[in-house]
Structure 1
Amino acid sequence: MRRRTFVRTGAAAAGIGVAGCVMPATDDEPDDDLEVDEPENDEQNGGSDDDGTLRIATYSSMVTGETPAGEWLTETFEAQFPDAELEWTVPESGIDHYVQRARLGAEIDADIYLGLPVDGLVLADVEPEVSLFETLDRSKLERESRIRDSIAFDDPDGRIVPFGVGYVAPVYDGETLSAPETLDDLLDERYENALLVQNPRYSTPGRAFLLWTIATYGDDYLEYWEGLLENGLEVHPSWTSAYRDSYLEGVRSMVVSYTTDQVAATVAERDLERHQVATPDGEAYRSVEGMAIFEETEKPDLAYEFLDFVLSREVQGELATRNVQFPAVEQEYVGVEEAFVDYAIEPDEPVTVAYDDIADDLETWIDAWESEIGD
């Protein structure tokens, strides 16, 4: 099988690791940088409009669960901007929801998309006449310089900025399964009726896992997926459905999730034996999550305030804890809980993808997957 090595990057090139990008929170952290001086009038604020409702589209785990990040973000942002209100929306079909609305000329009922990876941006660009996101004015993002260079997006139009990093990998029940040493191992009978995955059309980890298989098997990726299907693969529309509603309920013994899984399991006081992380061939797929502003927003100033707010020290630390993801900023701008440092796993060989590498093919790959596997 032909391997698409052009989408791979080694650990040294990736530059991401627990020791290299996060440190435990301490009592002597620098002063909180969320405080801002209130402008005396609109002219001093550059004509900025910091009131009204800001609509944010995101994925379900951002706003659901026991301690969702979205709820904390709302309370903290509205405390800083008392005249603003955050309104969250979770489109069932992810970024495809807005692609279809743009195709039909329908209103885009959101101002910001929070949780957009580079492959999601590629899906937003499938038709030249459809334009969803604006090119960002970087001069309005005072904290952008904090972002680690190694995770910068290569979007040619500069529409997206990182806010977090995750590594997608199989999570399994160590009481009933052993770790797969390669992706090929998932075709073995010992993993029969074990694996839960997410639909790559709608789910970020599902799309990451698809791209990982393309990186490994090249044009023969569908043959590999057919083998998974024959071995009892179960496909879910979202991470929440696959992980929370099925894996945690004991429906299956393996799920496509993240290498930070044991962090969340430790905080929730779950049995770590059932939260083992596999990195086949030392690999996991690196997914950088970004945020972008919709072109049709009527609250551009408030949208930029929110993007800059997400890059603040306190928010980056809270997102690392609540979303269980690696921060996007350099280590001096964030501290995380000890559980993150102790249990978050960085793969030896991160697999990643560049915008240009998939811009022409991603829609074709997903259509083929839906035709052969999704149905």
Structure 2
Amino acid sequence: MTHDSFAVTESLIREFEQTHNARITFLKSGDTGSALNRAILTKESPQADVFYGVDNTFLSRALDEGIFEPYDSPKLTQIPDQFKLDASHRALPVDYGDVCINYDKTYFASKGLAVPQSLEDLTRPEYHGLLVVENPATSSPGLAFLLATVAHFGEGTYLDYWASLRNNGLVVVNDWETAYYTNFSASSGKGPQPMVVSYASSPAAEVIFAESPLSEAPTASILAPDTCFRQIEFVGILKGTAKRALAEQFVDFMLDVPFQEDIPLQMFVYPVNSQAKLPEEFLKYAQVPEKPASLDPALIASKREEWLKAWNETVLR
């Protein structure tokens, strides 16, 4: 069971199937929250053997619901400790990505406008109406950006910051596709906002998917401390699987170098295995923040709904 954004090169799956005399079926189940809800609602009679895609914003909920069986994969020795958020190895890290504000290089250059260098800068009058964000109640990157503001400003003042953004012409849409492909000026060339909440890997994607070859990315990310939020995605063996040995082998497969090196150009996130090499496009065009914002998964789990309700009342009402 996976979220809808899961992708892998077909030949890798065929090779796993031939090696283990198995047939793998992928049950795509909506976004991360929807997929996790499905796994929880069916945990007494699980519909899959392995679940991939729960991230650190939902991790504590998955662990509290007891949907995973522990598995201490031998491949964990190749993964840095910073990605291991579950000491019991029920959820094993697979990949990570940073949600950041992306900006249209041409817009800022043509206007002679300096690129914002902090969250605070975004409230300045020269950036009025220039930022589009996704609703955190309906969008994973939207939620990640909200969490970055909580981490940076604290629970006591993050809402004051959002009120300032709203007063500075903040634009809110429901999903990443709308924000990036309709509102963002660099993607469509026609959108009204030159800044969008997206991913630090988006500039690399712009080059890879360009209709005409590009020598440099038309976009870049704002990477100042706390302006990005790091998402880590995990895989786990679903409790009650009748295929425990094969499930372990598939988890090992996802953590091993061939799958890890396939991840960037399939899902535009980074591998966690330190032995995996990045594709040239990522090395040249993608950016990694040195100090992304982070929050304890248990705190996110206990406060997520409260923060979302407060955000809604502050920004949309």
TM-score normalised to structure 2 length: 0.81
Find the counterpart in structure 1 of residue 267 from structure 2: 323
- Which amino acid in the other structure matches residue 213 of structure 1? T
**Which residue does the alignment assign to 1:229?**
166
1:190-230: CA deviation from partner (whole Å, max 9, x where unpaired): 33333232333444322221111011211221222233233
**Shift in CA distance, 306/249, structure 1 to aligned 2, threshold 3 Å:** farther
**1:204 aligned partner:** 140
Q: 1:339: Cα distance to partner?
A: 2.2
Q: CA deviation at 1:296?
A: 5.2
State how far apart, in whole Å, the 2-side matches of 1:117 and 1:344 are. 21
Aligned residues: 304
Residue correspondence of structure 1 range 80-229 to structure 2 within 5 A? 80-92=19-31, 94-96=32-34, 98-99=36-37, 102=40, 109-124=47-62, 131-138=65-72, 141-153=73-85, 155=86, 157-177=88-108, 178-218=114-154, 219-229=156-166
Contact between 1:122 and 1:362, CA under 8 Å: does it hold in 2?
no
What percentage of residue pairs aligned between the two structures are identical?
Answer: 27
Q: Deviations over 1:108-144 (max 9, x none)?
A: 645433222222113446xx6xx25213221xx2322
What is the alpha-carbon distance in structure 2 between the residues aligned to residue 344 and residue 237 of structure 1?
25
> How big is the shift at 1:76?
4.8
Cα distance, 1:355 vs. partner?
Answer: 2.8
> Which residue does 1:256 correspond to in 2?
197
Aligned partners of 1:117 and 1:290 also within 8 Å: yes
1:95 alignment partner AA: G
| Counterpart position of 1:66 | none
1:269-348 to 2 correspondences below 5 Å: 269=210, 272=216, 274-281=218-225, 283-295=227-239, 297-330=241-274, 333-348=275-290
2: distance between equivalents of 1:296 and 1:202?
31
Per-residue CA distance 1:150-209 (angstroms, 9 max, x = gap): 2211x3653211111212211111111342111122223433333232333444322221
Supply the AA of the counterpart residue of 2:200: T
CA distance in 1, matches of 2:43, 2:265: 39
Counterparts of 1:119 and 1:266, CA distance in 2: 29
- The worse-fitting range, judged by mean Cα deviation, of 204-213 and 300-309 is 300-309
C-alpha contact (below 8 Å) 2:57/2:231 kept by paired residues: no
Unaligned runs of 5+ in 1: 1-55, 64-68
Q: Is the Cα–Cα contact under 8 Å of residues 40 and 67 in structure 2 kept in the other structure?
A: no
Q: Which moved more, 1:294-303 or 1:101-110?
A: 101-110
**So what's the TM-score if we normalise by structure 1?**
0.69
**Alpha-carbon contact 1:196-1:235 (below 8 Å) kept:** yes
- Give the gaps of 5 or more residues in structure 2: 109-113
Task: Kindly indicate whether the alpha-carbon contact (under 8 Å) linking 1:320 and 1:326 is maintained by their aligned counterparts in 2.
Answer: yes
Partner SS state of residue 307, structure 2: helix
Shift of 1:305: 2.4
On the 8 A contact 2:223/2:288 being kept in 1, the answer is no
Q: 2:94 is paired with a residue of what secondary structure?
A: strand
Q: 1:223 to 1:106 in 2, by over 3 A?
A: farther
RMSD of equivalent CA atoms: 3.1
